[in-house]
Amino acid sequence: MLAAALALSVSPALAQTTSVPLPKPLLSGTTSGVGWGIYAGGLTNAGLQEEGQSLRVSVPAGASVLGTRYDAVKRTALLTYRLPKGLDARSALAFATNQLQLQGFDIGERTFPDARSARATLSREGQSIEVQTTRQASGDMQVVYVFSVPHQWFGQF
């Protein structure tokens, strides 16, 4: 019995050194031909750098996801989370853009309209995404991912 318990306790450590399947996303879909998923956590840098065109984002370690929502008309995905010690909009933006950069996105313009909000645009192989972070009065962080229509689609309608 002790050997079985030790084997079970070692298994997660071994699993981290090999390719581990992604956890189940909280929300996922395809927008403008780009597959995407929002995860509560468990994404490693190695998992973010795996091949594939699907966009993967999550929350910082220790954060609690409060909700997710997708708006098909605006082509936006919203993620709301809370950290025990709080997080400012710039730090939340840095976390979100770092995850996208690990997936091959290049960061473009960054703006910081005020102390409670920040935004950045990123692009990868003709795909672009805007990330908007806003710290709410409650301290909760909202991150909006705005999916842009690929350039080749313009003029086809």
Domain of 126?
Answer: 27-148
CA distances from residue 1 to 7, 83, 150 in whole angstroms, order as listed: 10, 39, 57
Report which of 54, 64, 66, 128 is spatially closest to residue 97, judged by C-alpha positions: 128
| 82-130 per-position pLDDT tens digit | 987 878 999 999 999 999 999 999 999 999 999 899 999 999 988 899 9
Cα(53)–Cα(104) distance, rounded to whole angstroms? 9
pLDDT over 70 for what percent of the chain? 75
Residue 126: inside a domain: yes
Sorting pLDDT into bands at 50, 70 and 90, what band is 7?
very low
Does residue 136 lie in a domain region? Answer: yes
| pLDDT (average), residues 30-35 | 84
Please give the tally of structural domains in the chain: 1
55 in any annotated domain: yes
pTM for the predicted model, two decimal places: 0.79
Which is nearest to 65 in space by CA: 119, 125, 121, 140? Answer: 140
